[in-house]
A and B are shown apart, each in its own frame.
Chain A
Amino acid sequence: MRAYWLIALLWIRAALSYPVSFWTMMVGGVLITFLDFVSIWLMFTHIDSYGGFSLREIGLLYGVTSIAFRIADMLVGSVEKIGQKVRSGDLDAMMTKPVPVLVQLCADRFELRRLGQIGQGVAVFAWAAPIVDWNPQRLGVLVMAIVSGVVIYFCVFVTFSTIQFWTTDASEFANAFTYGGNTIMQYPMTIFPREVVRSLTYLLPLTFVNWYPCLFLLGETDPFGAPGWFRFASPLAALVLVGITALVWRQGLRRYRSTGS
């Protein structure tokens, strides 16, 4: 952890030494992600509800998944680019340092400007929040969901990036599950077939990031009839995923073959 912040701070300092480019990138990031929500908003000029959910309710789903996803995205740093790091030999260098490789990869090129994208998620959430009848229990579930959500997305990033140890150009494949996953989760699950929702619960447990916890926040039960306790099970899903990710990552490192030159 200490090493993580040491390396990350260095990149933050490096980024801030070019303030103009830092701020344009930051604002650019906000604008692009902002347009992302605008497209959903435009859809609602024609309809009043989508999959049984109002715009604000979708905003809630959107906000929670975006916050978790963008934080995870900021924390994984160069993990997505393992393939590139293998080819450039940077990974060899990381392996001869007394800090876990994963920590070094995560802190590498830490991008503070991603705070802008997180901010956009927070803004959408704040706009949607008044529809929830807040009480301490609901606040607790929200915090739990966001923390678990960060962990879940982080694990998905790492697990699918590990594939790049074997085929160094599989980064597109990983993106489909991470960025693609986040996009799917911005919508209510009711618009998808039952099989998709099942997969997103038991195979790639992204529904635990926002879907089940938000059902609780909105005081609803799952239209697909999932057990009620699923609404509080986000930490459990995160924990299982951490275990799997640790195994996959360790295997990846042991199978690592470096480059021939």
Chain B
Amino acid sequence: MSLIEVKDLSREFTIRKRAGLLRRTSVVKRAVHDLTFEIDAGEMVGYIGPNGAGKSTTIKMLTGILVPSGGSAQVAGLEPSRRRRELARRIGVVFGQRTSLWWDLPLRDSFELLRRIYRIPDKTFRRNLEDHVAMLDLGDLLDTPVRQLSLGQRMRGDIAAALLHDPEILYLDEPTIGLDVVSKGRLREFLRALNHERRTTLMLTTHDLGDIEALCDRVIVIDDGTAVFDGPLPSLRTGGGASRTLVVDLVDEAAPIAVEGAEVVKVEGPRQWLAFPAGSSAAPLVSQVAAGYDVADLSIHEPDIEDVIRNLYGG
């Protein structure tokens, strides 16, 4: 059995709208529908999709915050909405947009309170605090009230807090939102180490595909409430109908190159761009071009993952 099992999961919201002075109509918004996937222990899964796709709604169902309107979810063998408090001991959650720390308390007090709320054994607590504080560089911030922390500092505090009780699963909803490049890099490194050393299962949503490329072996793409792709990152490139590009620098300007299996998408003086399917090999193409034209230089460009995903969302 997988650690997270989601089957035909759905969630609707009834939204009441004013229609005229007194009349109200209600529309049903399907935020998530017929979502099915499984995640095994130790996986790092990127959960991506455009705004309003249903990512946060899914995570809220997997933590027990929202009760699904259909289908089923099992996390660590528990049904989240019915066994919410039991599940809470086994998962960590970080919502990037807000904090689950106590706004007016210093980080140290927040951590201490969590220790007691979760009844974390002293040894575990001290080890986790030492490890995470060092790795997340929180040492100097422990006595600062949360409201005085910068966004990036607070985020690190939130992540450390979510990990104090050794959760098996860590859900991260946009953990890198608003972070600078250096902080992002650090955070990614930390998460990778967490997954390697402790086998913590990670599920993260993000709009920064750099996070996905740096961390996730697997991506689930959700659009309009349902999964449109689920697989390893490399096959998202090939499977998404994207193409690789062969850039050819000819010695002289010439008419568009005519070869089999590729088509010219752009010409700029002696430089020409040839698109070919991401799944096929570049070798035959290169030899055809080299045989038929005077080539000064060649290079191959992998499809941009953002383009791939844009394709998926659009299609």
Contacts and interface: CB of A to CB of B under 8 A. Distances in A.
A6 B113 contact: yes
Contacts of B86: 98
A258 B13 CA distance: 10
A258 B116 CA distance: 26
B98 A88 contact: yes
Contacts of B67: 254-256
Contacts of B118: 97-98
B97 A98 contact: no
B64 interface: yes
Nearest to A3: B117
A98 B117 CA distance: 7
A157 B64 CA distance: 25
Given A6-B117, A7-B113, A88-B98, A95 B105 contact: no
Interface string A8-26: 0010001000000000000
Contact of A258 (B65, B81, B93, B100): B65
B33 to A, nearest CB: 16
A96 B117 contact: no
B192 interface: no
Given A98-B85, A98-B86, A258-B65, A93 B97 contact: no
Contact of B65 (A7, A10, A92): A92
Contact of A92 (B95, B105, B109): B95
Contacts of B89: 98
B13 A97 contact: no
A237 to B, nearest CB: 30
Contacts of B97: 89, 261
A198 interface: no
B104 interface: yes
Interface residues of A, number: 22
A14 B109 CA distance: 10
A51 B173 CA distance: 61
Contacts of B85: 97-100
A257 B91 CA distance: 21
Contact of A96 (B63, B81, B109): B63
Given A98-B117, A256-B66, A14 B100 contact: no
Contacts of B99: 93
B113 A10 contact: yes
Most buried by B among A88, A89, A97: A97
Nearest to A88: B98
Interface string B115-157: 0111000000000000000000000000000000000000000
Given A14-B105, A92-B65, A256-B65, A99 B98 contact: no
A95 B65 contact: yes
Contacts of A261: 56, 97
B84 interface: yes
A92 B96 CA distance: 13
Contacts of B117: 3, 6-7, 97-99
Interface SS of chain A: helix
A169 B186 CA distance: 41
A1 to B, nearest CB: 13
Contacts of B113: 6-7, 10
A92 B65 CA distance: 6
Nearest to A2: B116
Contacts of A254: 67, 81
Contacts of B188: none
Nearest to B158: A93
Given A99-B85, A100-B85, A10 B109 contact: yes
A98 B85 CA distance: 4
Most buried by B among A95, A99, A254: A95
Contacts of A255: 67
Given A10-B105, A92-B60, A258 B66 contact: yes
A98 B88 contact: yes
Interface in A44-63: none
A89 B103 CA distance: 12
Contacts of A98: 85-86, 88-89, 117-118
A114 to B, nearest CB: 18
B95 A14 contact: no
Interface string A233-261: 00000000000000000000011111001
A95 B63 contact: yes
B100 A93 contact: yes
Nearest to B13: A257
A6 B66 contact: no
11 contacts: A3-B116, A3-B117, A89-B98, A90-B98, A92-B60, A93-B98, A95-B63, A97-B88, A256-B65, A258-B65, A261-B97
Interface of B: 13, 56, 60, 63-67, 81, 84-86, 88-89, 91, 93, 95, 97-100, 102, 104-105, 109, 113, 116-118
6 closest cross-chain pairs (CB), A and B: A93-B100, A89-B98, A98-B88, A96-B93, A95-B65, A98-B85
